[in-house]
Structure 1
Amino acid sequence: MSEVHSPTQGAARVAPSTTEPPLPVNLRRNAPLVPTDSAASRALAAVIAILTFLAALCAGAAEIAVSSAGQWQSSVAQEVTVQIRPGAGRDIEADVKRAESLARAAPGIASARVFSKGESERLLEPWLGSGLDLSDLPVPRLIALTLSSDGQPDLKALRTTLTEALPGVASLDDHALWLQRLSTMANTFAGIGIGIVVLVLLAAGLAVVFATRGAMAGNREVVEVLHFVGADDDYIAKAFQSRFFRLGLRGGAFGAGAALLTCALAGLLARMSRSGPTGEEIEALFGTFQISWRGYAMIVFIGVIASLVTAAVSRVTVRRFLR
């Protein structure tokens, strides 16, 4: 009798006994084009976080300086000073009372405070030192005038009135020079802060350029295969852009978060030490050391900008590399 072979038995004898080797990891379908967790990626995220932290701190410091300068300007603009100089054959006390009465009668003046002779002499101690006998010196007397917030006082008319009533003796200082210097200082701090932020973002962009070119060089074979199967440059650039955007977003979030925490802790420490003499000096120089909501929004915005710069620079770098 002849043997009858089933189709399945024939197929079993024809089937190869060995299996094909698996594809490399970087060529599998579920593997990303750019490695998602590598030493270079973690280093780049750390660099972006550090640069974002420094840029955010610079922006926060510039905001504190501008805010403090605004507070100083507001405080200085609320007061003007009348100076009464001693003259030969004149009674300085009578001149002071006359100038005080004229100032109080002027519209827009809320209050007037006359500095005594001892207080006027103590104002010279930062320049002349303490312990000196200034009784024989013709030290001018000062009258501090507080402006009313209801209306705008006519300081030009008050200056004219004082000059006509006490010629060569009384003069009015509206602190315009100090206000101009404060405005210049605030604008300078703001410009320096913006310049540092731009430089830090440029440094982050350069770091992304080198990281992107390194990633492209390490995945050259994958890119060639993608070109061979019909993938265009835009598809490849989007893959790199997406990966580096996530890296930039992670680094920017860590850097901005650290800057927000640092500013919050600095404000808390300033409030805790405000009762001591050191806290009073810090408050006199920097105000309350509090960042407004604009400062916090600026820090968050810098973190977002860092991630956007990372994505844009990586895309441009990839397209130039592919060309």
Structure 2
Amino acid sequence: MTDPAASARDTGRKKRPVTLRPMAPIVPPVNVSGRALMVVIAIMSFLCAVTLGAVTMVQEKAEAWQGDVSREITIQIKPDDGLDMEAALTEVRNIVLAVPGALSAEIVDRASTARLLEPWLGEGFDMDELPVPRLVIVTIDEAAPPDFAAMRQTLADAIPTATLDDHRAWSGRLISMARITVFIGVGILALILATTMLTVIFATRGAMAGNRHIVEVLHFVGAETSFIASQFQKRFLLIGLKGAAFGGGVAAVAFLLLGAWQNNTMATALNDQATALFGRFTLSGAGYFGIVGIVILISAMTALTTRLTVIRTIREIDRQRADPSSAEID
């Protein structure tokens, strides 16, 4: 005869749901050494991204300078006794537009001229009290430029104080300087990338040293070398991806903020001068794609270094087991 109480207890035990505890990861979560590696990767990624962005901007500005120099010439008219400056500017513009190869001519008005001089003379100065030259900016046809010698002679006959500057005297120096700057920037970027690679290699090896016992246990229980290496590679790939993405993201945000700051402070004459010389500090799409490439490169480098380090560790374990007297300390 069965006991009703015992039967009820058995029934309760049968109906109780069975909960499976999640399997713990083979490689432990990020520890102190892993966090340190992530910080190192983030810092080096930030430096690489900033350098790449700066080199990209310099290259783009150099190309823009070269294009502007080859497309424009400047005519300067110095004030003289009895010279009607406004009439002289209009006459110069008409003379230039009649020359084949000149596409357009723009007179720099008084307000723009005063704005160009504000960084040196301050605000509110009277242009009539100073012998301030006036400018005419001429856009020329690059494929069929005008005859500069004939244009100079025509301007000299009409207005003796007018001088033409075709920028050829210093355009070569400007282009050479820009190319040297880009070359130096590329060299600096290469050095930072090399430093990043070495830093990631040593930091990854240091982080792996703290997990050597896990490699030993997995190897002793018969796990394949490729399996152990893949487990650590996935873990450290995630660490490298997080660190590189954070560093690259901060650099990208810094470039965006720099461009927004410059757009919001364009009302000063000093910023006008900086914009005229260097252009806007905005990063193009190629620069942002380059930052993404740096993030991928550093993440892949971290994963590859981890895999090679695990394989090397397993080989050292096998060598020590085969001959304990030949143990080496790396």
Specify if TM > 0.5.
yes
Change (3 A) 1:159 1:281: closer
1:258 is paired with a residue whose SS is: helix
Counterpart residue number, 1:198: 190
Cα distance in structure 2, aligned partners of 1:99 and 1:273: 34
Change (3 A) 1:37 1:175: same
Is 2:105–2:136's contact at 8 Å kept on the other side of the alignment? yes
Cα distance in structure 1, aligned partners of 2:74 and 2:247: 47
Counterpart residue number, 1:50: 43
1:36 is paired with a residue whose SS is: coil
1:251 equivalenced with 2:243 (yes/no): yes
2:289 is paired with a residue whose SS is: helix
Counterpart residue number, 2:326: none
Displacement after TM superposition at 1:266 (Å): 1.3
Change (3 A) 1:108 1:143: farther
Cα distance in structure 1, aligned partners of 2:277 and 2:192: 27
Output the amino acid matched with 1:40.
Answer: S
1:273-312 → structure 2 map (5 Å cutoff)? 273-312=265-304
Change (3 A) 1:212 1:164: closer
1:31 equivalenced with 2:25 (yes/no): yes
Cα distance in structure 1, aligned partners of 2:213 and 2:234: 20
Change (3 A) 1:232 1:73: same
RMSD of the alignment, in Å? Answer: 4.5
Cα distance in structure 2, aligned partners of 1:265 and 1:82: 37
Displacement after TM superposition at 1:258 (Å): 0.9
1:238 equivalenced with 2:233 (yes/no): no
Change (3 A) 1:81 1:265: closer
Cα distance in structure 2, aligned partners of 1:100 and 1:272: 34
1:102-117 → structure 2 map (5 Å cutoff)? 104-111=97-104
1:153 equivalenced with 2:147 (yes/no): no
Change (3 A) 1:37 1:177: same
Is 2:244–2:295's contact at 8 Å kept on the other side of the alignment? yes
1:23-172 → structure 2 map (5 Å cutoff)? 30-32=24-26, 34-81=27-74, 104-111=97-104, 146-149=138-141, 152-155=143-146, 157-159=147-149
The counterpart of 1:181, out of the listed 170, 173, 197, is 173
Once the two structures are superposed, residues 56-79 of structure 1 have per-residue CA deviations (whole angstroms, 9 ceiling, x without a partner) of 112222222233333333332222
Displacement after TM superposition at 1:303 (Å): 1.8
Cα distance in structure 2, aligned partners of 1:265 and 1:142: 36
1:289 is paired with a residue whose SS is: coil
Once the two structures are superposed, residues 120-145 of structure 1 have per-residue CA deviations (whole angstroms, 9 ceiling, x without a partner) of xxx9xxxxxxxxxx99xxxxx99856
Change (3 A) 1:159 1:320: farther
Displacement after TM superposition at 1:47 (Å): 1.0
Point out where structure 1 has 5 or more consecutive residues left out of the alignment: 1-27, 85-97, 116-122, 124-133, 136-140
Is 2:229–2:310's contact at 8 Å kept on the other side of the alignment? yes
Is 1:81–1:173's contact at 8 Å kept on the other side of the alignment? yes
Output the amino acid matched with 2:178.
Answer: A
- Structure exhibiting the larger radius of gyration computed from Cα positions: 1
Change (3 A) 1:274 1:104: closer
% identical aligned pairs: 39
Change (3 A) 1:216 1:143: closer
* TM-score between both structures, scaled by the size of structure 1: 0.65
Is 1:79–1:145's contact at 8 Å kept on the other side of the alignment? yes
Cα distance in structure 2, aligned partners of 1:314 and 1:181: 48
Cα distance in structure 2, aligned partners of 1:272 and 1:114: 27
Output the amino acid matched with 1:257.
Answer: G
Cα distance in structure 1, aligned partners of 2:176 and 2:309: 40
- The runs of at least 4 consecutive aligned structure 1 residues that moved more than 6 Å come to 98-102, 163-166, 169-172
How many residue pairs get aligned? The number is 277
Moved more, 176-185 or 268-277: 176-185
Cα distance in structure 2, aligned partners of 1:173 and 1:159: 11
